[in-house]
Amino acid sequence: MPHYAKSEEWLRESQLILEARPTTTRITTKYAIKTPKQRKPKTDDDTPATTAAPKPARGFLTLKTYDPVSGVTLKYRTSKAAEVSRLIGCLGKLSRPMAGLPEQKDEVMTDAPAEEGTPAAEKSEAAATATTAPAAQQAPAAGGGKGKKKKGKK
């Protein structure tokens, strides 16, 4: 039962299993709210202090592709709100082979949530991807965005 670190990998593998078994494969999205364990505040906690501390409940989103016939299970787990719309976009993409429709190539990934009203942040992201673009021409835009997120965290 593999857990994937990247949603793109999960999406690709899920597409493959759906192509092979479109009738029996199902995708379950679990949204779980849990109370975080009480932990002693250790020093050197490298998570940014702004978000982690005051939250009373922590949510997780787990995407699972499961085919009961072959027993294949593919999972991806995240806790980032920023990923929700992109992941639902993935679900929409995966619904196409499920319905028996041909794959849509020209579909643009809806990455940054437009509703949150942060033109500045999005602009900076666009600029950031623009800088990386010449360096890695063939890297998809979504992958670039993801890398940026990780950099920001550290």
Which residues contact another protein (rule: CB under 8 A)? 19-20, 22-35, 48, 50-51, 55-61, 78-82, 84-85, 88-89, 91-92, 94-96, 98-101, 110, 113, 115-116, 118, 120-121, 123-125, 127-128, 130-131, 148, 151-153
Task: Compute the half-sphere exposure of residue 57: CA atoms within 13 Å on the CB side of its CA.
Answer: 6
Which of 1/127 has CB closer to another protein?
127
Q: How far is the CB of 95 from another protein (least distance, A)?
A: 5
CA distance readout (Å), 23 to 69, 74, 131: 10, 17, 43
Give the length of the chain: 154
Q: How far is the CB of 115 from another protein (least distance, A)?
A: 7
CB 105, CB 115: distance < 8 Å: no
Which of 3/58 has CB closer to another protein?
58
* Token reading at 151: 């950099």
Which of 15/110 has CB closer to another protein?
110
Q: How far is the CB of 127 from another protein (least distance, A)?
A: 5
Q: How far is the CB of 60 from another protein (least distance, A)?
A: 8
Q: How far is the CB of 140 from another protein (least distance, A)?
A: 19
Which of 133/140 has CB closer to another protein?
133
Neighbours of 125 (CB within 10 A): 18
CB 93, CB 27: distance < 8 Å: no
- Give the 3-state DSSP-derived string for 114-137, with helices as H, strands as E and coil as C: CCCCCHHHHHHHHHHHHHHHHHCC
Which of 34/40 has CB closer to another protein?
34
Residue 138 backbone class (left: φ over 0; alpha: ψ -120 to 50; beta: rest): alpha
